[in-house]
Amino acid sequence: MIDGNTQSRVIEDVRTAARALPPGSRLPSVRELMARHRASPVTVQRALAQLAGEGLVVPRPGRGTFVAERSEPAVDAGLPRAPDLDWQEIALADRPPLPAASLDQLLAVGPPGAIALTGGYLAPELQPLAALGSALGRAARRPETWGRLAVEGLEPLRAWFAREAGGHLRGHDVVICSGGQAALSTTFRALSAPGEPVLVESPTYLGAIAALRAAGLRPVPVPTDEHGVRPELLAGAFALTGARVFYCQPLHANPTGATLSEDRREAVLEVVAAAGAFLIEDDWARDLRIDGEAPAPLAADDPDGHVVYVRSLTKSAAPGLRVAAVSARGAAGARLKDARIIDDFFVSGPLQHATLELVSAPAWRRHLRGLRVELRVRRDALVAALGEHLPSWELANVPAGGLHVWVRLPDGTDDVALTARAAAAGVLVSPGRPWFAAEPPAPHLRLTFAGAPANELAEGVRRLAGVAG
In tens digits, the chain (469 residues) has pLDDT values of 345 577 888 898 899 888 889 898 999 988 888 888 887 877 888 888 889 888 889 988 878 899 988 765 544 555 566 777 777 777 777 766 666 656 666 666 667 788 999 988 999 999 999 999 999 899 888 888 888 888 888 899 999 999 988 877 787 989 999 889 999 999 999 999 999 999 999 999 999 999 999 999 999 999 999 999 999 999 999 999 999 999 999 999 999 999 999 999 999 999 999 999 999 999 999 999 999 999 999 999 998 999 999 999 999 999 998 999 999 988 988 888 888 877 777 787 888 999 999 999 999 999 999 999 999 999 999 999 999 999 999 998 999 999 999 999 999 999 999 999 998 899 999 999 999 999 999 999 999 999 999 999 999 999 999 999 7
The pLDDT of residue 74 is 47
Distance CA 358, CA 133 (A): 9
pTM for the full predicted model: 0.79
Beta pairing partners, 67: 57
Which of the 8 DSSP states describes residue 451? S
Distance CA 356, CA 345 (A): 19
The residue type at 147: G
Q: How many Å separate Cα 39 from the centre of its chain? A: 50
Contacts of 237 (CB under 8 A, 6+ apart): 199, 220, 222, 243
The residue type at 202: S
Q: How many helices, marked H, and strands, marked E, lie in the chain?
A: 16, 16
CA dist 416 → 385, 420, 421, 434, 462 (Å) = 22, 6, 9, 10, 19
**For residue 353, how many C-alpha atoms fall within 13 Å in the half-sphere facing its CB?**
19
Strands of the 394-395 sheet, one edge to the other? 394-395, 404-408, 444-448, 430-431
Burial of 438 per CB tally in 10 Å (0-12, 13-18, 19+): exposed
Q: How many Å separate Cα 119 from the centre of its chain? A: 10
CA dist 44 → 9, 21, 36, 50, 128 (Å) = 10, 20, 11, 10, 47
Q: What helix, strand, coil percent values describe the chain, rounded to 5?
A: 45, 15, 40
In 142-244 the beta strands, taken as DSSP E runs, fall at 174-177, 197-202, 218-225, 228-229
Burial of 363 per CB tally in 10 Å (0-12, 13-18, 19+): middle
Residue 420: closest CA among 410, 412, 432, 429: 429
- Residue 353 CB neighbour total at 10 angstroms: 23
